[in-house]
C-alpha cells in the first residue's frame, strides 16, 4: 500500500457514540461531504473500517 487515500464524510456523527466522533475528528473531518487525503496505511484503513456507515473511500 503506497500513496494516499481520499476519505469523504457522508453522514453526520451527531447521534453516534463518542468513540465514533473521535475517529471522525482524528481523521480531520468536520463537515458533511468534506474530503481529506491521508496516507494509505493500515492505521487509516482501520479507522475507516470502524465507522463505515459514516465514511466513504473515494477512489
Is the confidence at residue 1, as pLDDT, over 70?
Answer: no
CATH number at residue 40: 3.30.1390.20
| Per-residue b or e along 25-57, where b marks 16 or more CB atoms closer than 10 Å to that residue's CB | eebebeeeeeebebeeeeebeebbeebeebbee
Q: What is the pTM of this model?
A: 0.90
Quote the pLDDT of residue 50: 97
Instruction: Identify the domain containing residue 33 by its residue range.
Output: 4-58
Say how many domains are in the chain. Answer: 1
The Cα 18–Cα 26 span in angstroms is 12
3-47 per-position pLDDT tens digit: 999 999 999 999 999 999 999 999 999 999 999 999 999 999 999
Amino acid at each position: 500500500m503506497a500513496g494516499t487515500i481520499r476519505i469523504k464524510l457522508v453522514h453526520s456523527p451527531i447521534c453516534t457514540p463518542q468513540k465514533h466522533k473521535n475517529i471522525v475528528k482524528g481523521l480531520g473531518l468536520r463537515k458533511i461531504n468534506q474530503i481529506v487525503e491521508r496516507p494509505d496505511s493500515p492505521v487509516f484503513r482501520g479507522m475507516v473500517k470502524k465507522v463505515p456507515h459514516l465514511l466513504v473511500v473515494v477512489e
